[in-house]
A and B are shown apart, each in its own frame.
Chain A
């Protein structure tokens, strides 16, 4: 089979490369991974004027061919035809920011030297005009020796011209690339400045928009307040807007499981499909609305250029524990759910910073822990008022959140001094110009995330929930026996019991720990199952469950259980996403190990302190 011609889109960060790629390929995109590295490969198709299809690939943004990050190494290797899993590009579209020629032309010159058939897209000409800059495309083209086309990718301007130019170029024969001359960066930079100066027709100094906005958004006092407000709106959105679609999904899952239950004879197979696959995957998919809303905000913040400003504002505080400002948004997102939080760490350039952030993200109290906290607090903490508007229950809940945050900061500090010592490019980032991202690009980004999440729900999560179901259902209980006693999970539960008895956990909790691996909130229903509350009016069971807990657990046990849930990595999805993002089992296993040790230690400390205090 003759593969399609491959056109690579390359350029410096913030040149509008992805917007141009979206404009050329539309929504028909594929996102994969380059083998062996966690660098995403975005590809799409473009149809030329004569109907020939061409494959386009959006290379990671890079400042030069001397890589300072794994992303930049991929860009270099693809262009030189040395990247595993990628063929040599047949042509190159270089995207440069019209108002930042001095800098972008340096990488552009380096790329042109490689000898691919090349077109330069002089992007964001509208913003350059706004900044009072007028450029000569002819002069630029003459200096560079390749065609230059003016574009405004976010407004889809210049795209037709670019396509025509590509058409012409791909019709001509191409005879391979040169090895890059070990070009001297200083020399290239000077040449870039010369060309940039030559291409300017006129420049009127104007007060720049971005600067005016920055003097408010990066103001030492006003800036953090605005950041807090934006975060508040984001969280309101994630929790409030997701309610309705979440209930739709829950209803859909419920009616699907009713449908299957009705259509199949009772038995092990039906149980596997309904109690295993549908219930397990259904529980995870209900998080989809929250994840998509969170990504809508993240993409918007990223697209407007505000995300880098948030990192700027928070960098000093994050730096104190060995993280960079870039870790702020992923960690904050983890309060909703660690899965999108960990996915969002891709914006962190430095691999060690990124890994540390991934490893501490599960310590942020995610929304799935709320049902567990709510149940235990309601059952054991008296609803006394400490002060006007401040109740003891609320204080305990707040304390659990704070414990998680402190745990994360301490863990980061220890990790950065220990296993993840050294490295780190510190914090060096370009503050791009503010602009409004096209809605279509945001939608493409959200759809891509949805696809990744659903694919995982359909594979790893489906597999693990079926395994958990099998452990809980095999062998089948005979008459007069309890399923939770005979099953493999029950036997494992008894094994767990011997381990967790010293920290005050009883039989019920031990039985709930394994099923709660599917999702934390499952702990509630698992405990309910252990109590054999199998009356048909299970919805009313919450109060009964609360009563039963009060009779069977001591306060010390309840507090130890809460402490356990602050730290324990009770979530298959988080482990699965960590495996995917770190490309192997080493780090997810490390994460599971250290979090369980922390959970055990803190639950134990809580239990023994409580017992010693006579609670």
Chain B
């Protein structure tokens, strides 16, 4: 995967607003049962495309993220459990 022009893999909380990425893995063990359940309900899954849309005004937390056709708000801490590969 480490082709020369491939941007580096990162976590969702570090992805800049407006840039798209593909979810490579989710650290389910870092999340509580109900949190993991909610993320799955929102459609977070390996392979889906995500895009941070807005940041909260204080401490840039929470983060509004586009996933599929939905926009959802999650806290920075939870976004940190989601590993992504930026597209382009």
Contacts and interface: CB of A to CB of B under 8 A. Distances in A.
Interface of A: 63-64, 66, 68-69, 99-103, 106, 185-186, 189, 210-211, 214-215, 218, 220-221, 223-224, 308, 311-313, 315-317, 319, 325, 425-431
Q: Which 9 A-B pairs have the closest CB atoms?
A: A63-B41, A316-B58, A220-B57, A218-B54, A431-B71, A68-B37, A102-B68, A428-B38, A425-B34
Given A103-B70, A215-B54, A426 B41 contact: no
Contact of B74 (A64, A210, A211, A428): A428
Interface in B63-79: 64, 68-75, 77-78
A313 to B, nearest CB: 6
Given A223-B57, A313-B56, A316-B62, A103 B68 contact: yes
B38 A101 contact: no
A385 B56 CA distance: 40
Given A68-B41, A214-B53, A431-B72, 7 more contacts: A64-B41, A103-B68, A214-B71, A315-B62, A425-B32, A427-B73, A428-B39
A185 B41 CA distance: 9
Given A313-B57, A315-B62, A316-B61, A429 B73 contact: yes
Given A103-B69, A425-B35, A425-B38, A431 B64 contact: yes
B40 interface: yes
B54 to A, nearest CB: 4
B43 A428 contact: no
B75 A319 contact: yes
Contact of A428 (B42, B59, B61): B42
Chain B at the A interface: SS class: mixed
Contact of A431 (B40, B57, B73): B73
Contact of A312 (B42, B45, B64, B69): B64
A319 B71 CA distance: 21
A426 B73 CA distance: 11
A315 B75 contact: yes
B43 A102 contact: yes
B35 A214 contact: no
Contact of A99 (B38, B69, B74, B78): B69
A210 B41 CA distance: 21
B25 to A, nearest CB: 13
B9 interface: no
Contacts of A66: 37
B71 A430 contact: yes
B27 to A, nearest CB: 15
Given A63-B41, A66-B37, A218-B64, A429 B72 contact: yes
